[in-house]
Amino acid sequence: MGIQIISLFYIDLSPLQNNQLYQNQDKLSQQQKDNISHFRVLMQQAVMPVMAQFRALGFQTLVYHGDNNQDVSQSVFTPDQLNNIIPEDDNLGGSDQIPFTLAGLPCVTFAGNSTYYDNNPPPWSYPFDQKQDTIQLMNTFASGSSQKAPALVLALALPGMLTTWMLNQPDILGQVPADARVSGAPIAAISDIGQTQVNQSISLDGKAAFDPNNNGTALNYAWDFGDGSKASGVAVSHTYTTTGTYTLSLTVSSANGSRRISKLIHVVAQTTNYPNPYAGFQPDGVPPPNPRVILPVPNDQQTGQVSPNSTPTPATPSTTSYTIAWILIATVIVLLLIITWLVRRRRKRQG
């Protein structure tokens, strides 16, 4: 009987309940809680179509080198492997995620392994932030060889594909046809605003607006700040003198039509600062190793491989929109995983 690899992949999400990292989740507004809940549902829905897309692209079988020095073939991205992808409340405390979660925004961190600094780490724990922390060692963990490992490529592509699926959802970013509401009207967008403080000037611009029918056409910009004040021009500034919630509107017009968009502005007396829980732990450039972990030695006489279908299954129209994007994102995900390992190490040192 062949040996089967079982690799777990963790999706760490903004929690709805208090935990050691986030002790004020119960104080979030109902709207913030609803947003987090919806984000978590979308993230769980992403897993099945993403795995189906991998198989549609032809990635259906992985040949890896087992501990017995024998090549083993295993099906990948199959329905029975859905349980290997585990959504859970964030317990890593990534420094790039904590402030957003504290602010009540839905967040996610993808993690494959974060057990290196555990008291009793599994033998395959990856030594992030060590002198051996290289792509070569990641290949060794993935396939036993220091050469490029197809298993590692797929492992890094998975969070990229999940990210792309999420960004393609209407409730996250989505896609809007150019003539969604008014045929021939310009496309309009308002720049990011951030926290808005009373009696503090904010700068706004609509530079992202354009006319899809004639990109060189002149556009007119009309702003309504929701407090009785109005302005015109592609870039404007405004000061709210009273705290509260206001509807900021921008109408962009051209000879072909006009489009109006709006967003809510929450004006507060004082902006909120979120402390960095790791500020007191200054790095010294020499992270301690864990002697309980024995690193694998690469065997470059063998390599693993991914065996695609001879005839890949055509992707459906609902998934082709993000087929190409995951390739571009996969490289960025390497940095995401390294950051996750770094933060886990810091947290263990804090403990």
State both tokens at 200.
Answer: 């503090």
As a three-state string, the secondary structure of 300-311 is: CCCCCEEEECCC
CA 351 – CA 349 distance, rounded (Å)? 5
pLDDT of 343 reads 45
Phi, psi angle pair for 319, to nearest 5°: -110, -15
Q: Which amino acid is at 159?
A: P
Q: What are the tens digits of pLDDT across the range 314-351?
A: 444 444 344 434 434 444 444 444 445 444 545 544 44
DSSP 107-129: -EEEES---TTSSS--TT---TT
Ordered by start, the domain boundaries in the chain are 9-173+275-350, 196-268
Mean pLDDT for the chain overall: 80
C-alpha gyration radius of the chain? 24
CA distances (Å), origin 3, targets 55, 70, 95, 306: 22, 10, 38, 17
Count of beta carbons in the 10 Å neighbourhood of residue 58: 15
Confidence of residue 69 (pLDDT cuts 50, 70, 90): low
Phi, psi angle pair for 244, to nearest 5°: 145, -175
CA 344 – CA 351 distance, rounded (Å)? 11
CATH number at 196-268: 2.60.40.10
Q: What are the tens digits of pLDDT across the range 86-121?
A: 999 998 887 778 888 998 999 999 888 888 888 888
State both tokens at 180.
Answer: 């969604």
CB 205 within 8 A of CB 277: no
Q: What are the tens digits of pLDDT across the range 177-207?
A: 655 455 678 888 887 777 799 999 999 998 8
Q: What are the tens digits of pLDDT across the range 217-264?
A: 889 999 999 999 999 999 999 999 999 999 999 999 988 888 898 888
Answer whether 0.85 is exceeded by the pTM.
no
